[in-house]
Every structure is written in structure tokens, then in C-alpha cells.
Structure 1
């Protein structure tokens, strides 16, 4: 097996794992794909393509036929499964050469791939399908390693390829992916028999092997050679990217400024549609954005199609000093607005200059990548994963620029070539096939008391409906357990004591850094103390007032500051109680605090309406199952007030409402969802989720 160590890529082949897949070439191909996709130096999320060819029985003729299995359109090799691949008759695919009419015929050819399908459960074949099908090898990798794209994007790419690999590698000049590029690869192989791979100018790498393992090792070795070549060139170059032009701020300062700036940037990037943000100040990012060459390289844009499809043709570089005081959002907005206006204008000019008669309408002209020299790099997209991946792809682009500059000189794609890929009808069709966005997609929700009970149920519901959620609570262990139930790029958590303004500020800072800001705030943190008047101590009173009332006040105050920075609409939801409307025994402290929450919500609704910030209340009652406040003295107090045992409480509460329904935390979450996703013209309202309590009717 492995005969050498690798310095620049990670060898991940596990022979024990592979041996369990022996004899199943498709399973080995998927395994190879997954471990290649696990190393971002080899290819990023959604980038690259892999395939294998096997002999199968034709279900119609019973004859043995060759079938190519290949990653389907829009997939990711790092997470690829059988459901994400296409199976095609290799011979039929090659027979398409007989009907291909030239470069103008590319779009039609993609439709013909469907006529080559062997496996009826296939994912839609991607545009790379003929590139694999027209080559004769059993196993093929098409990857986008930073080192190889640096070679491919260098000014003297062909001669550098020769210098690194001699006659062992082929080279094909830039051409948009499609059937003709497959023909060019086939021609390159015919003219250079015995080569181990092909470099595609400004695009990537093709390598192959007789077995999945041979293909894997070949890919790693080729990438390693390019990486080592570039590493030596960088050593010879005293100053990468021309050296530092500015000095980076310390990490804590960078984070603070990023948190302050994110809501403003998010608002500006959301002029077309609301966006979710991501921030990075990694060593790679800082080396590039602080350099003398940033001004020259950034406008050139990225070279690899996979890069600029996710990062846009070029980033926006902010003209803000690292010492800039960001405390006055109105003043900062005055400085940022012209830069965004100019970026949109230039993007529109790019579209108008390059568009063709068949081009789709212009897409969102706002930047995806925003660079603040000395501070870091921001990215904004329709969801957290897309924003994070865009950032990762631009880091790939930075690595490519560094390598190409060290080798000779970085080159990017001509604008027309870039446009023809960005606005390719096939790319547009891929976008149209994407699932419809969920109701709360593009929104960020911060929920207090989200470590369990009602708060966790609310977080679950909002996340299920597409929101990013920031879970807050005073119990970090519960928060960690809660966060672990969400998928990647969905949730974050912050320990937050709602009685402490600084703790609340830190939670909002986390929301801004993680997702760009906040759109929905749900104050669900609470406690309940049930005592007669004489037994209610000053400490009891103050605790209830601090958590329920003061906490709500401070949460709303800080949320509104962020929402106004964003310039977007927002929601503040108070989880109060039926007890704020109903006078009951032994409840003076809790009932008064809940009533204060309800009236504060009305006051805030009246004040914040002009800013399109809606403030509403959800009143639970009798939520016993799964609710934290029923743990301990509160349950005992309520049982005593009603003259029943604690064990009898669930039945008591279920029977006393008009609908005779048990109320669960999920029911309260549905009330919140209705207010933030459906009733977008409702503010100052109270929704009772109590099964119907006549004495709690609002009117």
C-alpha cells in the first residue's frame, strides 16, 4: 500500500475500511470520493468530480455492458452516497460524438445524457460527465487542488506543467466545461499516451488509475509534486503578496470590530434579499488582505469556475481604517454606502457588457466577499453553509494567487468567459432545481432559556422552518446538549444571564459574528415562584422582576440596536403566561412580572412599529410535560393552591381548558412560528396557547 509520506496532502486511505468494500467497485469509488473531499487542500465543498466504470448486466438484453458511475449534478464528493451518483452506459455516452455539432451545441448535449442512463435511480448527470466518459480509465478523479489551480492559473502554465512533471502530464488550454472539453481530453491522451494525468488551464486536474486505490494515490502524488514545487518557489520569494502594507489588529480587536460591523454589512448586502453572514480572520486571509498586492489582485477576480461561481467575479474591498471608530452606525453607513453603490453599478455594467440574447436576468448585484484590510474577510449568502463555503472557496483562491505569483504571475479568466459560466443556462437550470426555501430561511433567531423545555422547542421549530438559531441559557451543559441536536451550520450557543446586560451583549455579539446579526428574539428564559403574599420575600420579587421583566427590557433594547443597524424588519416575542391576565391565588410575584412583560410588549410595539419591528406575546398555560419550571417548588406550590397532589397536576390542567387538551412545549413553539412567519402584519398582540381559558380571553 502506501509507499511514501505526504507533506502537503493528508493520506486517509484506511485499508481495513477498504477491505470491507472489496469486490464492490462502486462502494470503493464512493469511499475514495469521501476521503478526497475530506481534505480542503484537494477540493472544496461541492467541487470536483469522481467516477468509476464497472461491467454490469443490461436489463434489456442480458448482455454485459460497461457502466460509468459518476457524481451527479450539484453533489459533493466529501459526502457523496449512492443516491448522489449517476449510472450511464459508457458506449451510449461515447456515441454522442456522432451527433455533437460543435460548441454551440453544448446545452443540447446535456439533455442527451439522459438517453444514456443505465440506473433509473440516477441523479441528474453533471456537465463533467463526458470528460470522464470519453477517457478510457476505470477510475478517474477531477479535482480542484489549490496547488494545481495555481499551476493552471499561472501565466506560463503549460511550460510550468512540463517543468514539474516532464512528459508524465498532459495540458489542455482553457475551455468551458462541456462535451468539447471531453473531446480535448481524449485528444490530449491520444497525443500523449502513457501520461498519468492532465492539467486544465485555469480549471483543475484530471488523474486516473486501474483501481480506486491506484487512482487515489496517483491524485495525491500529482498534487504533492505541485505543492512541493510551489513551496520551494515561495521560499525563494522573500515577500509573499509583496509584503505587508498594513498591520493587522490584535485578534480580540478584530473580533470586536467584526461584530460591530456585521449587521451594517448584512443590511447593505440584503438590499435584494436577506443574507446570512460569515467571518474569517485566518492566517491565510490576513496575509492576503494586509498585503501590498491586494489592490492589484482583488479586482482581477478568481480563476477557477468553481471559485467565482460561489464568490462572485471579485470581492468588495472596504476603504476603512483599522482604527476606525465603529460606534456610530450612521456615520459608518455614510462611508460604506458609496462603496456598495459602486460595486452594484460595476456588476450591472459587467452584466450589460457581457450578456447574450439568451442570458438569464441579472442576479443579485451585491458582493459575496467583503474584505476589511487589517480586520478580516466577511461573506454573505442565502444561508450559513453557502456563506461559509464561499469564504472557504475564496481562501482557495488566495492560495491559488499565492502559488501562481510565486511561480510566475497570476492570471484570471477574461470577463466574458467568466460571465458565460456564471450565466450559463445550465447553471441557471441547476439554480431553478434547488428546493424551495423554507419560511424562515435567511433569518437568525436568538432564544433565551433554550437549554430545554419551551425554549428548546421554539429553537427546534424555528430551525426546522429554516432559521439559524442562537441558543442561550445560564446552563452551559444543557446548551451543549441542545446544540448537538442541530445539524452543521444551523445553530450556535452562548451562555447568557438575562439579568446581566454585559452577558446579553455577549450573546448578541455571538449572533453577529456567527450569522451576521439577528432578526428574531424570543425571550423564553424564566422561572416561577408560587407563594402567598406574606410568604413572598423581597428576594423572590426581585428575582422574578430581574429575569422576566428587566431581562426582557435589556434583550429588546440591545436587539433593536442591531435590527436598526441592519435596516431590516424584525420580531421580538415575549413568552409570558396566562397568569399575566388572570388573577389567581398565591401568585402575586409571578403574575405581576408576567403582566409587566405583556404590557412592555405593547409599549414596544407602539414605539417600534415605524421600524417594522413587530413585538408580540405568546401566553402558555399548563405546559407541564417537558417544561423546566415544573421541576421543584413551583409544581408543589400550584398543587397546594388548587388543593391537589403534584401527581394530579397534569390531569388538572388538561381538563380545565375548553378544548380539554394537554399543552406541550411544541404548541408554544407553533405560536411563535405563527407570529414570525405568518402574521407579519401583526404587532402588539397576545396569542394564548392554553387550550382555551375563558378567564384569560384578552377581550
Structure 2
């Protein structure tokens, strides 16, 4: 059962973490000290509950807390070997855990345990970091807070920083918290309410001072020609650039992107201090660990064409990689982890916005949010002083910290499709939905494209979250509509790697009854639609230069001459030959094109539910509800084929095992001998 101390800590953490003005996602930590019953002795035991490593305050639950015995934690001061060996103290926290201990203790545990206060908050508010990164931050701290808040010069998080803050608290009874140079703030209180009130007072007092005393244009004047483009033009250019930028940012390893064109970002990109401030990089460790030491900034005006920006990006990216490698080589020694990659995490394009990148959509989105935090910090610092982040050498010590490397190594192995982006047409139901769901389950971001936009959005909500699935309208017979779907994918995830041509319909009629309209409709959706989708997929994938996969959901009917479906089967045969033609054409770009030939997929199928089932049942003289069983009995395996079985085949083609396979048609029909490929 959660005790009152823990309940109050969770509630306080969630309130503070819910407001981005207080701290960034997964940034900062909170703690509470209290007494609980020792299950071994039955007596009381003094404990520290503190947010564990990697958690987020806004969504913190009790399982995200590390629980340590306070007496043992404080005894560590007697064995502390000094700042040169302070990293060893993190492993020592394991010997202070109470029972199983909960979450893994973070590097900031000492700060919370050693400060003599029942409740402690460590936060990364924009206003607080603005003071912390101001060139005269110590003087400003004294002026702004009137002696109630102490200044702590920059020190890397760790045991010594905890000792420093504990000494300040012990020697200054009137102090309620600190500004940590280059980093953030810490506050405390005798009660949970008091600690939260003190944290909020520091944040709000700093913000009010900046607003009242700060310069009106801290980033300088607007630069002619670098103003934001109108929204429609801005988004169109962003969609065209996104695959290019993503391909460059994925030189070392595949990345997913996030696009931001908020007012904060667009204003920063239009100002005269853009270049010098962005070159200084971010300061708070939480910021630059996610945004890299500095962003890549396109030095062209808003009016530059996509082609001009693309050409310039190539040169800037090469220079960025050289600069990052030089940064690594300046500070790395024999104990440093290997360089993790030299590509930018943040790319700024004046007039257009910001692209941020990460191993998955959430990390990409959060990287962008952190850079917005950094912009706010720079604005605040420049408004009242001069922005002066921590030295580059210190950033390297954080970025390539052995403890940070150990944290990365503890991460679970990524799923097979992490870092890949899929667009599936006709995905609001049936086979398409099953494929999208399987891809999402394997770690891909998915775009559910369907003629019915509302059903597409509903399917996306069922399959994933805002970071893993979106639903878009897509009429595959309309080139503009197809491009719009791919543009939506570019704005959401920065590109596409896996495209599944699944949209379709069926009309079953004898030759004599098949109308010209029937023929045209089936060929428009199946043949022309697949062509348009594949064409747009190829454009996106070649711009990315990351290869890719195109899968056609064709049919057994593409090779089998069944009765009363000449228009449908002819269109499916067209799709099947597109697989062969495009496999031959796109191979030089690393794009693999394969097909799947299902048969008898009745359950869950929108096509069968829309009349095709009744029609085929009539042809074969069986009740419609028994059609799936009928199809199963005519197969070699006597098994009914479900949408999930087709999804399994789709995953097999893209999941990493068939890397050298293209131009293949995979039957998923439980065995129909007449449809064997020859």
C-alpha cells in the first residue's frame, strides 16, 4: 500500500512535471524522506524515495521511485573517495537499497539524500536555466532572489554536487534553494507543499524578473529574407525537405524525425543572433544529451528553393560531421566510449522550421521539445545578460560519460522495425489494418492511409499512440491525394521506408455482365492506384537514400483463372507485374519490391463485407457465413487464411531476414495448387 509520504511525492511530481515551464520531459527529479516499517525487524526505518533514472515527473508512478535506506546512504560520505572517483558512488547506491529498491537510482540521488530537508526538488525550468547560463548568473541570483536562493558554480551532477548543496543548506538557514550554474535549480521544504511552493516561487520569480527587466528583442533584429513562410508554403517545403534531411541525419544509423514550426522556433530562425547563439550550443545536460552539442543551421534565406536547400544541406552536413569528429577527438582519451555518431539531431531551416531526430518518434519529438527549451533559455539569458553555456569540454564529459554509456547499454534490444516508417493504403480494416498493427508492434511508425479519413484516424488510435501511428485520407486514384498522404508522413515522421499497396475493392461478375465502369473502377484503384503510390514511394525513398521496401498485396487471382472476375483478376495481374518491373528498376536505389498473393481472406475483410463475399458465395453455392470454411477446404492445408497471416508474410519480407530478396511473390493461401507460381 502506498503510504502518505509517497502519495504526496507522486502528486507533487505529477503537478510539477505537467507544466513545461517547470521542467522538461524526463528532466529533473523529486524526493521525499520518511519512515516506514522494516519488514525484517518490524521496527521503523528511515527511507528516501527519489525519482529513479530515466523517469518522467509528469507521469511518475510509485514503480518509478528508487527506495533507499537513509542511514546507509548518508554513511557513504565516510567512504567517498573524492571527486576524481565520484562515479564509483553510483554503484554504491545499490548497497543502500531498501528491499528490491524500486527503480534504478539516478546520478542525482546524493543531492536528495544528503540535503537535510524532508522534501527536495531538482528541476530544469527555462527561467531558472536562463539565470544559470547568464554570464553574470551569480550576481543575478543575489539580485533576483534577495538572498533566499544560493548560487552553485557549474559542477557535473554527482556525489560532490550533493555534498556542495547539503553544505549550503546547512550553513544558510534562510536559503530555500539554489541555482545550479549552467544547469537548473534545486529547492527544498519541510513538507511536500512547502518544497513545491519554493520551487514554483524560484521559477516564477525568475520569469517575472526576465519579463520586467529583460530586453525586448534579445535575439536582435529580424533579418530580411529570413521571415517565416506562409503556413501552406512552409508545410509544403518542409514535406519536400524532410526525407532529404532524414537521410542525411541517418548516415550513421536510421533515425525518425519530428517537425516543429512553432512561433518560438520560427522567430529564432529569423533573428540576427541565430548563427552565433546556435553555435554556442545548449547548456543543461538534459538538453544537449538529446540535441547534440549544437544544431545544423541552414544558412539560406526563406526564399531558397528546395533544390538549393538540398544542395546546401549536403555540404553543411559534411562539414557538421567533420566538426563533430573534431570535437570528439579534442576531448576523447583512452577511457572514452567510442563516438556514437556524427550526424545532427537538430536541423534548423529558416522560414520553414526545425527537424529533430531520434531512434524513434518519441525521442525525436522530445529532442525538438528540448531545443525549444534551449531557445527559451537563450532568450532569457540574452534578455538580462549574455548567454554563456558550460564549456564544450564539460559537455563532452557529460555526453561521453561512462555512466551515460552504461545507461545506454542497459536499454533493451530494439525491436526489428524500430527506426522505420510504414505507409499502408486501405489500412482502416482487414489485411491493411493487420499489417499496420504488426508493423507497429515490431517498432515501426505507421501511417494508416484510407479513403475514409475518420476510419483511418480511429484505426491509428487503436493501433498506437501519437508517436507511433497517424491516420490520413488517401484516394489512391488521385495523384494529388497520394502525394498529400506522403506529405503527411513526411511532416509526422520525416519520411517513409515501408510502403504497402493494399487499397482495393472487388467486383465479381461474368464477362457479359461486367460493365466498362466496373473495368475502369477496378483498374483505377488496383492498377493505377498501386502505380501512383509506388511512384510517390520511390520519389521519397530515393530522396532519403536509405533504400526501402514496397509490398504489393496482390491476389491468388493474379495467376489463377477463376470464374466470373475478369476485371478484378486482370487488375491484380497488372499489380503482380508491377512488382517485377519495379523490382528491376528500383534495385539500384536499394529499394526492394515484393508481392503477397492472399486468397480466401474473409474474416475482417472490408472487401468481403462490402458485397464481394455474397457474390463469391453465390458463385460457389455456399452460404456467405460459410465462405471462409469453403475456401479452407479447397486448400492443401485445409486452413482458413486470416488478415494476420498476410501480416506475418509482410513482416517476413521487411523484418531483416530477407535482405537480398526482391521481385518475389509470396502465396498466403493455405496451398492452392492451381495458383503455384511457375
Q: TM-score, normalised by structure 1?
A: 0.95
Comparing 431-440 and 242-251, the one that deviates more? 242-251
Cα separation, 2, equivalents of 1:22 and 1:275: 40
| Matching of residue 320 in structure 1 with residue 289 in structure 2 | no
**2:123 and 2:184 in contact (8 A); partners too:** yes
Q: CA offset at residue 378 of structure 1? A: 1.1
| Matching of residue 675 in structure 1 with residue 632 in structure 2 | no
Q: Structure 1 unaligned segments of length 5 or more: list them.
A: 1-20
| Matching of residue 98 in structure 1 with residue 75 in structure 2 | no
Cα separation, 2, equivalents of 1:99 and 1:220: 35
**1:15 corresponds to:** none
Q: What does residue range 275-674 of structure 1 map to in structure 2 within 5 Å?
A: 275-326=255-306, 328=307, 332-485=309-462, 486-674=464-652
Q: CA offset at residue 333 of structure 1? A: 4.1
Q: 1:649-682, CA deviations, whole angstroms, 9 ceiling, x for partnerless residues?
A: 1220122211111211111111100011131211
Aligned residue for 2:36, secondary structure, equals: strand
Q: CA offset at residue 70 of structure 1? A: 0.8
Cα separation, 2, equivalents of 1:636 and 1:488: 37
Q: What does residue range 180-199 of structure 1 map to in structure 2 within 5 Å?
A: 180-199=160-179
Q: TM-score, normalised by structure 2?
A: 0.98
Q: 1:616-674, CA deviations, whole angstroms, 9 ceiling, x for partnerless residues?
A: 11111111111101114211210111122212212201222111112111111111000
| Matching of residue 128 in structure 1 with residue 128 in structure 2 | no
Cα separation, 1, equivalents of 2:268 and 2:309: 24
Q: CA offset at residue 462 of structure 1? A: 0.3
Q: CA offset at residue 298 of structure 1? A: 0.8
**2:448 and 2:457 in contact (8 A); partners too:** no
Cα separation, 2, equivalents of 1:126 and 1:636: 62
**2:32 corresponds to:** 52
Cα separation, 2, equivalents of 1:639 and 1:552: 28
Cα separation, 1, equivalents of 2:263 and 2:60: 30
Q: CA offset at residue 492 of structure 1? A: 1.3
Aligned residue for 1:36, secondary structure, equals: helix
Aligned residue for 1:119, secondary structure, equals: strand
| Matching of residue 78 in structure 1 with residue 58 in structure 2 | yes
Cα separation, 2, equivalents of 1:135 and 1:121: 20
Q: CA offset at residue 169 of structure 1? A: 1.1
Cα separation, 1, equivalents of 2:457 and 2:374: 34
Comparing 206-215 and 92-101, the one that deviates more? 206-215
Cα separation, 1, equivalents of 2:189 and 2:512: 84
Q: CA offset at residue 570 of structure 1? A: 0.6
**1:222 corresponds to:** 202
Cα separation, 1, equivalents of 2:230 and 2:518: 44
Comparing 496-505 and 362-371, the one that deviates more? 362-371
**2:259 and 2:492 in contact (8 A); partners too:** yes
**1:22 and 1:28 in contact (8 A); partners too:** no
Q: CA offset at residue 482 of structure 1? A: 0.7
**1:83 and 1:121 in contact (8 A); partners too:** no
Cα separation, 1, equivalents of 2:142 and 2:507: 78
**1:694 corresponds to:** 673
Cα separation, 2, equivalents of 1:494 and 1:679: 29
Cα separation, 1, equivalents of 2:381 and 2:273: 13
Aligned residue for 1:631, secondary structure, equals: helix
Aligned residue for 2:232, secondary structure, equals: helix
Cα separation, 1, equivalents of 2:231 and 2:644: 41
Q: CA offset at residue 121 of structure 1? A: 4.7
Q: What does residue range 60-75 of structure 1 map to in structure 2 within 5 Å?
A: 60-75=40-55
**2:63 and 2:103 in contact (8 A); partners too:** yes
Comparing 493-502 and 210-219, the one that deviates more? 210-219
**1:241 corresponds to:** 219
How many residue pairs get matched?
674
Cα separation, 2, equivalents of 1:121 and 1:582: 63
Q: CA offset at residue 90 of structure 1? A: 0.9
- Coordinate RMSD, CA, aligned: 1.3
Q: CA offset at residue 22 of structure 1? A: 9.8
Q: CA offset at residue 218 of structure 1? A: 2.1
Q: CA offset at residue 167 of structure 1? A: 1.7
**2:552 and 2:576 in contact (8 A); partners too:** yes
Q: CA offset at residue 497 of structure 1? A: 0.2
Q: 1:380-423, CA deviations, whole angstroms, 9 ceiling, x for partnerless residues?
A: 11111111101100110110111111111110111111110110
Q: CA offset at residue 196 of structure 1? A: 1.3
Q: 1:280-316, CA deviations, whole angstroms, 9 ceiling, x for partnerless residues?
A: 1111111111111112111111111111111011111
Q: 1:357-379, CA deviations, whole angstroms, 9 ceiling, x for partnerless residues?
A: 21101111111111112221111
**2:457 and 2:472 in contact (8 A); partners too:** no
**1:16 corresponds to:** none
**1:264 corresponds to:** 244
**1:312 and 1:368 in contact (8 A); partners too:** yes
Moved >6 Å (runs of 4+): none
**1:170 and 1:189 in contact (8 A); partners too:** no
Aligned residue for 1:624, secondary structure, equals: coil
Q: CA offset at residue 320 of structure 1? A: 2.4
**2:548 and 2:591 in contact (8 A); partners too:** yes
Q: CA offset at residue 477 of structure 1? A: 2.0
**2:155 corresponds to:** 175
**1:242 and 1:293 in contact (8 A); partners too:** yes
Cα separation, 2, equivalents of 1:562 and 1:647: 42
Q: 1:226-285, CA deviations, whole angstroms, 9 ceiling, x for partnerless residues?
A: 111111123xx2323012113222122111111111111111111110111111111111
Q: 1:17-44, CA deviations, whole angstroms, 9 ceiling, x for partnerless residues?
A: xxxx996221221121112111111111
**1:10 corresponds to:** none
Q: 1:428-457, CA deviations, whole angstroms, 9 ceiling, x for partnerless residues?
A: 000111111111111110000011111111
